[in-house]
Amino acid sequence: MEETIFSKILRGEIPCHEVYRDEHVLAFLDIQPIAHGHTLVIPVEPAATLDRLSDASAAAIGSVLPRISRAVLKATGTKDFNVLQNNGAPAHQTVFHVHFHIIPKPNAEEGLGMGGWPAKDIDHAEGAALAAQMRAYLAED
């Protein structure tokens, strides 16, 4: 994986507003927040996208996300929030080191907007085949 700005933050070469750190995980404030308290949670492991992250790092992040979220909500006096995780440039990823955004949603204007959500009704026959295909891939992974 190519070096990213988050590798430099992990090594302490670039400063950050640290929120949480353990052996596997670092959380810090986003430098361009879309809401007060916008926080990033990253694995120490340098995986570019979530599908390449080890089970151990994924478990470590998953186990602290709720606790970090609670701290973000208490510190910002917010009760609603989004967790966003982008993978790949077309999916709006700009830093190619896995990160979860914790974004408080204090009101309709601030925080994450959901302007484009192109929902349509599922085709159940197609859905059954697709889910079976995914189960097969999971069984061999």
- Assess 11 for contact with ligand AMP (CB under 6 A): no
- Assess 5 for contact with ligand AMP (CB under 6 A): yes
Strand boundaries in the chain, DSSP class E: 18-21, 25-29, 39-43, 81-84, 100-104
- Assess 16 for contact with ligand AMP (CB under 6 A): yes
Cα separation, 54 vs 139, in Å, equals 17
- Assess 125 for contact with ligand AMP (CB under 6 A): no
Cα separation, 77 vs 72, in Å, equals 8
- Assess 129 for contact with ligand AMP (CB under 6 A): no
Paired tokens of 126: 């197609």
99 catalytic residue (yes or no): yes
Specify whether the CB–CB gap between 48 and 1 falls below 8 A.
Answer: yes
In the complex with ligand AMP, the residue whose CB is nearer, 60 or 96, is 96
| Window contacting ligand AMP (CB under 6 A); options: 89-97, 106-114, 124-132, 133-141 | 89-97
Q: CA dihedral in degrees (30, 33, 71, 101; nearest 10)?
A: -70
* Total residues in contact with ligand AMP, by rule CB under 6 A: 12
Q: Residue 84 CB, nearest distance to ligand AMP (Å)?
A: 7
Residue 69 CB partners (closer than 8 Å, separation 6+): 81, 83, 102
Select which of 24, 99, 101, 124 is catalytic. Answer: 99
Q: Residue 63 CB, nearest distance to ligand AMP (Å)?
A: 21
Interacting residue ranges for ligand AMP, rule: CB under 6 A:
5, 14, 16, 30-32, 40, 86, 92-95
Q: Name the residues annotated as catalytic.
A: 99
